[in-house]
Structures are given as structure tokens and as C-alpha cells.
Chains A and B, each alone.
Chain A
């Protein structure tokens, strides 16, 4: 799958340090497949105990239908390493999250699931926080976010991750091609740390 340009309204969740337990609570992690994880997305922020939606939660608003971009506070995705978090976001149609920073493991997991973590500077972030449901464009090829004001800003991304997203590179396939180098490395190490039993 190749990562295409995004043009979408933005849902704004103005909270710092959103942890992966909020993105998907642990009780949804008992599945042995990826199917249906989307139901767990922000479960306890999104729904009441009786399963009825909380009308104030941003993704429950009528405007949120079809939304592809989530704008959120600093350090999004902190906590647990569960890849179920990006899986749940993607299953709900989210293709990019914009923040001032992301937790390391969440960022890595997102990039492996066609979910783009976009880091923007504080002033652009402030503009986005003030512009719920405004339309924003994201072009990964040029690493550009076009803000609601029309101002275009650059965002950073690891060059290899960008290439993998744009060209739909299969990372595991790329790694498997390096089997000879791995075998040579292992041969060199036998008898030292390479013998657990």
C-alpha cells in the first residue's frame, strides 16, 4: 500500500500525554487477530459505561464523520508498546496524527501501519488547536502540512520511513534480503554471547 496525500478536516483533542491505555484499554488486547480492535478506540473517553456515546467527545461529534487527521497535545502515544493503538486508529479511518511530539514506540509502530505521525512547531500547533474541523492538507512527498490559514510548513520524518510509506516498501522483505549478512554476523559470534543454552 502506498501512502497518498491527505486532505481532511481535523478533529482536535487538546490533551497532552495521551497514553496508549486511553487510545485502547488493555481489556481489548486479548484478541489474537487485528480484527475489530477499532471498537476499542478511546473506549472509555468515547462511551459511557452502558455503551452509549458521550456526546462531548470529539470523535462522537457529527463533524467527525470521515475524519482522517487527529490533532492532539504533546507526547501523544506514551506508555505501553501496544501496536493495537495505531491499529485501532487506522481502523477508524485516521491516517495522520499531528502533535508537537510523539512517544518513541508509538511513532515507530504508527509508521509500520500507514499512520503518519506529523510533528509541527508550537506556533503551527497553536493554530491547529484553534481550528477544529478546518481543512488541512498533508503531502508526505514534500513533507508539507498546509494549515487552515493556507500557510505551508515542513515536517520532519526519517528518510527510510518516508520511502517505505511512499513506495509501500515491505520492511520485513527488505530485512530478509539481508540474510547473508545476518548469517555472517552470527558465524562470527558463535561461542560468545550467541549461546544461551
Chain B
């Protein structure tokens, strides 16, 4: 048999039907749903008198337009509230399990899937959210879909799909202290550009990736879409199995043994073909930070802001000029030392317990700079509970940071948490697009370590000077 990549193996085992001249009908093992991209899909079901085919494979949460203020307070935004109320009604009407704001399991959809053991190797997982690739950390083929497709999955548990090519991204060697998973993926995207992976699925390989924890792998897979790839994954290994074991939805007993045996067949075969390849040396990486208005505009913390004069392609040059104008930055200067107003630790990229531990390790015994507002937003109520058990909440609060309830928060500025026009943030989220964190706001993407270090100093900071 022809050697296959993990993507080809998962694809082959999920094709329900293939008709000539049409895309394959691909089965979906897990459909994750949130309040923002589902209402119009539920409307389609009602208009056509359809049911959700597999409510048992469908899990809903509230995260995007969900406030991160105390759950005891009334919701101030009537439009956001109407969206959450509609979500409650939709899940009730169609028999879907919903982790709403009253439950202890609510959180960002890409945090709670793995946390509950819902995310498992070899699965196809979709969600009306481009960061669904997060679940690829478990060796699942996970990708974002639009609302029409959310409706298709509701009604048929399938999608019409054409296969993607695999793009091997190899990272080898040991990371230096202060350099983390976030820096790896920001370096990858800076290298290939935000359209570099269009039409492909990233498979992350190499000794560095193998040595990473599941949460670090999630951070990397999460930002695959920022490199243009709809999905990105890491083949499952013992680290994966240990993480899943014992979680609520994980297989038990004999089922567990059978599942692990099946999962061990997933890694790509020797000799499997990749359409593209990229290799990075982890030892050469330093903490990364973005300077521009897309995640591909990233530099090492000790590098200078690029100069448009050195760019030959006219469109690329004008885009760089436009980005630097929006960011109000001077080419050739260091970003390090640039004054900031806000630090955000959170989002589906970096809101898990290990991210909060990393930020807390820098914050401990230090204070947030007086001119900086720092938000720490756990990815789920379970993460929040764990952080409190470890006393991380106290470290953040003692430092002067705001430690909040779970949600997407300031990643996308649709829930009350946002930048004011002109403000600069160091953010652990995934997008620095114009206005992404609030109209007129300006975002420097970085790791939780870099974010915490910058909160302390009040300027973009090389965390290696503080550890």
C-alpha cells in the first residue's frame, strides 16, 4: 500500500461516499458550536423542518460574545444577551448539550473540547470558527467552517469536501529559556507568510514538536490558519494518550485499549509524500513579537522593524507602509522598549493552565506597571478553578492585574473587553488585524512570557532579561 500521511489516513476513514464530479461526503465525528456562527444555521433547520442528525456528537458552549465580568452581574449588552438567549433556546429545541454560563465547564470552545476529553486522535472535528485547528494537536483533522456548513453538519453530520495537500513543518532542537511554543508558530508564520499554507494542512514534525506538552502543541496548531492552512496537526504519541486518559469523554477500560491501538496506527508512514516542506532550528529562535497588522508581520525581539525601502514587490511594500502607518511605528527601530497600554493574557491560543503558570512565573513578586491595564482571562471555568487552586489568581491580583471569568474576551472585541482607539497591547491572542482588539487598537502578538514581562516594565520586553 502506498505510504500515507496522517491526514490521508483520517480522510480515507471518513469518506462516506464519493461520486464522480462532486466532492467527497466526509463524516464529522465531533461538531463544536458557539453562539456567533450558529444562529443562522439553526434558522435553516427550522425553515426546512430538519433535525440535528447527531445531537450526541454536537457540543455547544458560549464564548465569543460572552462577557468575562462576574457571572452574578446582569449582562449589559442587549444584543449580545439576545445572542446567548437564542443559543440556549436553540440547544434546548434541538437537544444539544450546552455548557452555558451557569455550568462549571463553560469556556472557549477550543479549550473545553480537549479538557473534557471530547477531542481524540483520528477524529474529524469541525466548528464555525477558524481556530478549530487547535484540536489538531491530538492528531485529529480539525478545521473551521462557515455557517452554511454548520447547517450541513447539523442536518447530515457530513461535509462536502475535497482533500487538502500536506505541508510538513519540521522543528528540531531544543528551545532556549524564554522561548516557547507561541514563538515557534509566530516564527513559522513570519517565514511563510499568512497565505503560505493556503490549500494545505500543516503536519508539525520534528524533535521539538515531540518534546512539547499537549497545551504547547495546541498553541501551535491553533495558529495554523494564520499561516493560511485550514488545519494543522501533530501525530498522536504517548504524551497525547496520557493527556486524554481519564477525562470525562475518554474511552474507558477495554475501549481505551482498543482506541490507543487504533490511534497508534495514525502517524504518517515513512515515505509519505508532502506537497511542501519547511524546517526550522528551534535553537535559533528567540522570543517573537509582531509589529504589523497581520500575524505574518513578526520579528525576533532583538530585530529591528522592517524598512519598506528594502522591499521590492510594490504591493508588499505598500502593505508594509500601510501597516506601519496604522501601527504608528518607525522602520529600522527596535520594537523592544515601545510603550504599551494593555496586556492581554488569554484566547484559544494561550489561555490554558500552563499559559497562566508561565505568565504567573514572571509576575510573581512583581507589579503591573502603573500605566498598564492587564487582563488575565482563563480559557475555561475549569482552567480558572485550577489557577485558583494553585494561587495563580492571587499572584495576578497582587500584581495589579484583572483576573476574569472564561471567554474569548479581548481577542476579538465583541464582548465588552476591548482596546480604546490608539492603544497598544501586547496580546497572547492570535490576530493583530486592524481593529481586531477594538476599533483603532494596535496589537503586538507575543507569548504569555513576553506578555507578562511587558506588563511589568510597561514596554515591549525581552522576557529573557527578567528570568
Contacts and interface: CB of A to CB of B under 8 A. Distances in A.
A35 to B, nearest CB: 10
A193 B230 CA distance: 23
Given A32-B86, A182-B158, A185-B27, A83 B148 contact: yes
Contacts of A159: 21
B130 A81 contact: yes
A103 B433 contact: no
B413 A160 contact: no
B198 A103 contact: yes
B160 A29 contact: no
Contact of A158 (B57, B162, B439): B162
B37 interface: yes
Interface residues of A, number: 56
Q: Find the residue from A79, A185, A196 having the highest chain B CB count within 10 A.
A: A196
B337 interface: no
A96 B440 CA distance: 29
Contact of A17 (B27, B319, B439): B319
Interface string A69-84: 0000111001111110
A142 interface: no
Contacts of A25: 413, 435, 439
Interface string B9-25: 00000001100011101
A27 B418 CA distance: 11
B433 A79 contact: yes
A192 B79 CA distance: 42
Interface string A47-85: 001000000000000000000000001110011111100
A74 to B, nearest CB: 6
Interface stretch (A3-11, A133-141, A146-154, A168-176): A168-176
A81 B27 contact: no
Given A22-B434, A175-B158, A181-B25, A33 B40 contact: yes
A85 to B, nearest CB: 9
B414 A30 contact: yes
Given A21-B435, A75-B228, A181 B17 contact: yes
A182 B27 contact: yes
A175 B44 CA distance: 14
Given A49-B421, A176-B156, A75 B40 contact: no
Given A75-B195, A109-B146, A194 B29 contact: yes
A88 B148 CA distance: 15
28 contacts: A16-B316, A16-B319, A17-B294, A19-B294, A21-B435, A30-B82, A31-B79, A32-B39, A32-B82, A49-B439, A81-B37, A103-B198, A104-B199, A104-B228, A104-B230, A105-B144, A105-B225, A108-B145, A172-B155, A174-B160, A175-B25, A175-B156, A176-B50, A176-B155, A182-B53, A186-B27, A197-B56, A197-B249
